[in-house]
Amino acid sequence: MTTFSDLQLDALRELANIGSGNAGTALSSMLGKPVDISVPTAAALPLAEAVAIAGAPDELRYGVVVPVVGDFEAIVVLLFPESDARKLCGIYGIEPSTPDGNSMLGEVGNILGTNYINVLAQMVDMSLEPAPPQVVEDMLGSILSSVLIGRGDDIDEALILDSNLLVEEEQCSLSFLLLPNHGGIKQLLGRLGL
């Protein structure tokens, strides 16, 4: 169960809503289509619980992994269910498992992840820089295991934002996980005075 107060979770949700507004504007510019993003769920949870919320380990996901460096290190993982990755890529008549589809998902993930990180950096007055994204297609459990193995034991909690995208009346969902190094979420909240 979460160790964060309602006030702290509200602050994280507010950050997510500001980030989603900026991300929607940027994504709309890239796609040339209206985009609306909502973040109905924001939670800071122990890693195992956050992973469970993202879905069943054997479900196919398209993941966009964005390393973050700066005042603290983290990894952003954006997870698209297969059907929603198909919807997004289908806007341009491409398949998600093709090089063009991977490129499109990578750019969508990069825009979303970068905008969330930039808002977070501004709000907490920290230097956070996203690195180039990597797109993976695999079972959810495999994606998260690979990311976590690469990080060692440094990650203890995750910020998860379940988001809904509306692109030209096409409803798509994604999970945004921020996996900071040990104590990173508490550090962010401390910078917000919480």
Question: Is 1 within a domain?
Answer: no
CATH of the domain at 134: 3.40.1550.10
The model's pLDDT over 51-100, given as tens digits with 9 standing for 90+, comes to 777 778 888 889 999 888 888 888 888 888 898 899 888 888 899 999 99
Domain carrying residue 135:
6-191
- DSSP letters of 77-145? EEEEEHHHHHHHHHTTT--TTSHHHHHHHHHHHHHHHHHHHHHHHHHHT--EEEPPPEEEEEEHHHHHH
Per-residue pLDDT band for 177 (boundaries 50, 70, 90) equals confident
Question: Is 171 within a domain?
Answer: yes
What domain count does the chain have? Answer: 1
Would the pLDDT of 192 be above 60?
yes
Say how far apart CA 157 and CA 154 lie, in whole Å: 9
Determine the pLDDT at residue 95. Answer: 93
Determine the pLDDT at residue 40. Answer: 65
The strand pairing partners of 177, in sequence order, are 77, 160
Question: Is 138 within a domain?
Answer: yes
- Nearest partner of 175 among 116, 99, 124, judged by Cα: 116
pTM above the 0.85 mark? no
Say how far apart CA 67 and CA 27 lie, in whole Å: 20
Say how far apart CA 62 and CA 189 lie, in whole Å: 30
The model's pLDDT over 92-116, given as tens digits with 9 standing for 90+, comes to 889 999 999 999 999 888 888 888 8
Say how far apart CA 173 and CA 135 lie, in whole Å: 17
Given a contact cutoff of 8 angstroms between Cβ atoms, the answer to whether 157 and 177 are in contact is no
Question: Is 181 within a domain?
Answer: yes
Per-residue pLDDT band for 121 (boundaries 50, 70, 90) equals confident
Question: Is 177 within a domain?
Answer: yes
Given a contact cutoff of 8 angstroms between Cβ atoms, the answer to whether 105 and 13 are in contact is no
